[in-house]
Amino acid sequence: MRKGLFFWGGFILCFAIIGLAIFFMGKQPEQRAITEPIPIPEPSAPYVYLEGKGDVFDFDLPEELVKETSQARPFLLAVQGFSPVLSYSQQGASLITWESNQPHLYGSALFSLATTQSLEKGEFPQEWKEIEEQISITKEEDGSVVLMGSSGMPPLYVHIDGGLTLLSTSREGLNLMKDVLNNTKDKLDMSWKVSADWASHFRFYDGGIFSQLLSLDGVEVSLVPFTFDAAWNENEEKGELRWKTTGIEGVIPAPILERLSPIRWDNRIVVPEPLMLAGGLNVPDVAHMDIEQDLTEEIPEGFPFSSEEILELLKGPLCVTVGGSSKFIFFSLPGILLQLPDRGVAGVKLVNEFWSQEWRVLVPSIQGLEGFHAGGTSDVPLTVVGAAREDLAIFGVMQKDEIQVEKKISSTVPALKNNSEAFAWLYAHGARLADAFDVVARASAMASKLGSDIGVNVEELARGAEKIRNIGEISLVMPSINEGYIRWTAPEL
């Protein structure tokens, strides 16, 4: 008998505790995905969609951008008003679409219990203190809650459904989201084509506008919508962003698109130390295309290259490297090289013509460069480089003793080491680039004191250096024109 009392007493006590927990803590944990209330835009309506944890919405739009872009201003104001609200969410999803010549915004968020309860009552959430001056909250007579922004931002109408908070820039939009959530209207299909298991996702859909505008301008493209899908994942030490596109044939004409192909980047190029920035692109062969005629018409009379030789020089891998140092009179500046691998006889001829131009009279002498049988370098009045052999032609400004190291491109770019085939690539080292900006800024300031202006804004360079110093290393690789990825690391302390 006593055992039975203990059993039933414990059983009732457990349910009482569960009941009290639900009463004090609010509703049961929300099981629905934040994407559930997001509606489908019109097929011809461009839109931007962003999904992830709250911190992905924590961004500021430059004031100049909002002021100067008059046509896109309503769209940007909608983004500006929405982002600080969703930045406080545990998870959020936002869709901003352009329909009937105005922006429409739909958002879904999972806030903390305290914030959700405050919004349901029409009270300003305690967690939002930092944006209290930007946003106010009111509860209207019909019980609806409205968030009002400043500086022309559109109002946000709010509805709480369980643990989900729905937001829209119109009552009609909010009602549409309710219908989507209740399965009476279709929701946006968010089956991601790139890294679906990652937390943060982005989509841009142009509604076919790009292809229509290009077609009206006489460019022969397919009349299809263009979509850009991206996902990213990061921690305190590193991160990666991947993207894929569809409908690229609506942006790039088919004859060009067919020739934008990847290659293996196993060529050897000059790698100055320290390497600050490097990039590469496989330039397509444009022979027998409209652009070939345009190039031919632009060739001045007496130019030493035929149109066929120019096309031969242009096509193939092209690299730019920034690193090492160069000198102009007594100014020390970062070095920069344009490098053309595998240009054969055309590359050698280009170097010879480079040193035969009229400006050559300013150069006292040309010093040969080891490993190159054509051209060389000059130190006065600046460190000019123009040298070639059959498998590599280089041009730029760099000191001779810093052009000694050659490496395979695939071993220079971290993201190319495991797969050296790509259409384009880029590498940057934030701290080294920042140091280079500082060097140029100091040289510009010194030149200014001497009465010369080299056209560099010292203050802008200083601000740029401050921003990129915290970047670390970045590698960008495009295996094809339709996809790519960016990998980055935190800066060394």
In the block, residue with structure tokens 């920042």: 434
Dihedral angle over CA of 90, 91, 97, 102, nearest 10: -10
Return the higher-pLDDT residue of 361 and 20. Answer: 361
pLDDT value of residue 23: 39
Which comes out higher in pLDDT, residue 450 or 395?
395
String of DSSP letters for 255-266: HHHTT---EE--
Query: Of 146, 7, 9, 163, which is closest to residue 81 (Cα–Cα)?
Result: 146
What is the percent of the chain with per-residue pLDDT over 70, rounded to a whole number?
Answer: 85
Which of 57-71, 134-148, 171-185 shows the lowest per-residue confidence on average (mean pLDDT)?
A: 57-71
Burial of 175 (0-12, 13-18, 19+ CB in 10 A): middle
Average pLDDT over residues 263-278: 91
Distance CA 338, CA 320 (A): 5
Please say if the pLDDT value at position 139 is more than 70. Answer: yes
pLDDT at 318 (0 to 100)? 95
Say if residue 20's pLDDT is above 70: no
Task: Supply the pLDDT for residue 13.
Answer: 43
d(CA 179, CA 177): 5
The residue that leads in pLDDT, 60 or 117, is: 117
CB 166 within 8 A of CB 20: no
Give 4's pLDDT tier (boundaries 50, 70, 90).
very low
The mean pLDDT of the chain is 84
More confident: 159 or 11: 159
The rounded distance, in Å, linking the Cα atoms of 474 and 485 is 10
Q: For residue 173, what pLDDT is reported?
A: 94
Of the pLDDT bands very low, low, confident and very high (cuts 50, 70, 90), residue 81 is low
Lookup: tokens for 335: 């070095």
Largest CA distance in the chain: 114
Q: Is the pLDDT of residue 339 over 90?
A: yes
Per-residue pLDDT tens over the stretch 365-407: 888 899 999 999 988 778 899 999 999 999 999 998 888 788 8
Residue the block writes with tokens 């924590």: 58
The CA-to-CA distance between both ends of the chain, in Å, stands at 70
The band of 181, judged by pLDDT with boundaries at 50, 70 and 90, is very high
Quick one: angle between helices 307-314 and 290-298, nearest 10? 120
142 against 184, higher pLDDT: 184
What pLDDT does residue 18 have? 38
Least confident among 56-70, 77-91, 206-220, 276-290? 56-70
Give the pLDDT of residue 103: 84
Per-residue pLDDT at 25:
41
Q: What is the mean pLDDT of residues 445-469?
A: 71
Q: What is the CA radius of gyration of the chain?
A: 30
pLDDT-based confidence at residue 2 (cuts at 50, 70, 90): very low
7 compared with 251, residue with greater pLDDT: 251
